């Protein structure tokens, strides 16, 4: 209530809490705008993204399978499948279901083990962009799934078992990635986005959002924050109304912890004229 920031303990389901709730909080920190869609929505419309992160897609139906094969895998994109994609189909749990959905062959380990992943190939762009030697959690659970596909490139293994936990394979026009861990840091997710060709506006790992005319950042920590624009633009502080920069491709501003800043990027004269006209109303 008074603006003080404290850390408090939390209790979550270790699998789903980290796989869904935690990941949403990390995805918003990669420095690029994101959308959230349901797996079932893929069959209802067209999506055109460079990167798809499939968090909890444990079940699928025929319409979803057709959408993955006929839409996603026919476009030059990167699809990252997490933990147990497609394990359940028509009420049956089987790794064969996972292959039909993802295009990758899997095996299953029933003994509890940690899903923490150690990288084994730093030459591949997907692994090189990750920027860390290992990621994931130390607590054990089961089952775990590993890639047993000769056509896939192994990038990382489970620290406990040595089985392939992180791999990439070309499926039609798409680059398909499997990540067996249920918890992926913002740094690793940002690496996935970078390798997929996503434009990254920010590298500070703060909560971030953007569209074609605005960029917003909420500072987790105080510091100088860098922004990288798609094209040279004027930069206006929306809350203050000041033109901060003119025709820049990148800029830096100091932002205090827990402060949110919103910037207009484009033609400053048009924006200020628009704002002046709406204030007069």
Contact between residue 108 and residue 85 where contact means Cβ atoms under 8 Å apart: no
DSSP category for residue 139:
S
Distance, in Å, from the CA atom of 142 to the CA atom of 162, rounded to the nearest integer, reads 15
Give residue 146's Cα distance to chain centre: 21
Walk along the chain (281 residues) in steps of 10 and give the mean pLDDT of each run. Answer: 69 75 90 93 88 94 94 95 96 96 97 95 90 90 96 97 97 97 92 96 96 96 97 96 97 96 97 81 52
**Predicted pLDDT at 90:** 92
Contact between residue 233 and residue 265 where contact means Cβ atoms under 8 Å apart: yes
Give the list of residues 6+ apart from residue 202 with CB closer than 8 angstroms, or none.
31, 208, 215, 217, 225, 226, 227, 228
Contact between residue 181 and residue 137 where contact means Cβ atoms under 8 Å apart: yes
Give the list of residues 6+ apart from residue 164 with CB closer than 8 angstroms, or none.
146, 147, 148, 152, 154, 156, 157
Of 113, 112, 89, 115, give the one whose Cα is nearest residue 100.
89
Distance, in Å, from the CA atom of 14 to the CA atom of 182, rounded to the nearest integer, reads 9
Contact between residue 130 and residue 106 where contact means Cβ atoms under 8 Å apart: no
Give the list of residues 6+ apart from residue 124 with CB closer than 8 angstroms, or none.
153, 155, 168
**Predicted pLDDT at 276:** 86
**Predicted pLDDT at 12:** 60
**Predicted pLDDT at 233:** 97
CA dihedral 243, 245, 248, 249 (to 10 degrees): -80
Residue 38 CA: distances (Å) to CA of 16, 44, 105: 16, 10, 24
Residue 230 CA: distances (Å) to CA of 5, 201, 219, 233: 34, 8, 22, 9
**Predicted pLDDT at 11:** 62
**Predicted pLDDT at 88:** 95
**Predicted pLDDT at 13:** 66
């Amino acid at each position: 209530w008074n603006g003080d920031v404290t850390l408090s303990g939390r209790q979550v389901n270790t699998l789903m809490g980290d796989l869904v709730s935690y990941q949403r909080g990390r995805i918003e920190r990669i420095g690029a705008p994101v959308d959230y869609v349901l797996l079932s929505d893929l069959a209802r419309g067209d999506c055109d993204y460079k990167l798809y992160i499939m968090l909890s897609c444990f079940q699928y139906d025929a319409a979803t399978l057709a959408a993955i094969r006929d839409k996603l895998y026919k476009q030059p994109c990167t699809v990252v499948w997490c933990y147990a994609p497609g394990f359940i189909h028509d009420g049956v749990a089987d790794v064969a279901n996972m292959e039909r959905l993802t295009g990758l062959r899997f095996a299953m380990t029933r003994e509890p083990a940690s899903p923490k992943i150690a990288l084994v190939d730093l030459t591949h762009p997907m692994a090189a962009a990750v920027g860390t030697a290992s990621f994931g959690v130390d607590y054990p659970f089961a089952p775990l799934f590993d890639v047993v596909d000769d056509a896939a490139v192994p990038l990382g293994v489970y620290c406990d078992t040595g089985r392939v936990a992180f791999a990439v394979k070309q499926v039609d026009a798409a680059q398909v990635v499997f990540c067996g861990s249920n918890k992926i840091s913002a740094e690793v997710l940002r690496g996935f986005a970078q390798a997929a060709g996503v434009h990254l506006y920010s590298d500070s790992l703060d909560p971030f959002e953007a569209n074609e005319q605005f960029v917003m950042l909420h500072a987790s920590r105080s510091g100088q924050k860098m922004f990288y624009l798609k094209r040279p633009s004027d930069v206006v502080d929306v809350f203050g109304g000041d033109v901060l920069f003119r025709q820049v491709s990148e800029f830096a501003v100091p932002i205090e912890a827990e402060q949110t800043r919103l910037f207009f990027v484009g033609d400053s004269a048009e924006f200020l004229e628009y704002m002046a006209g709406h204030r007069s109303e």
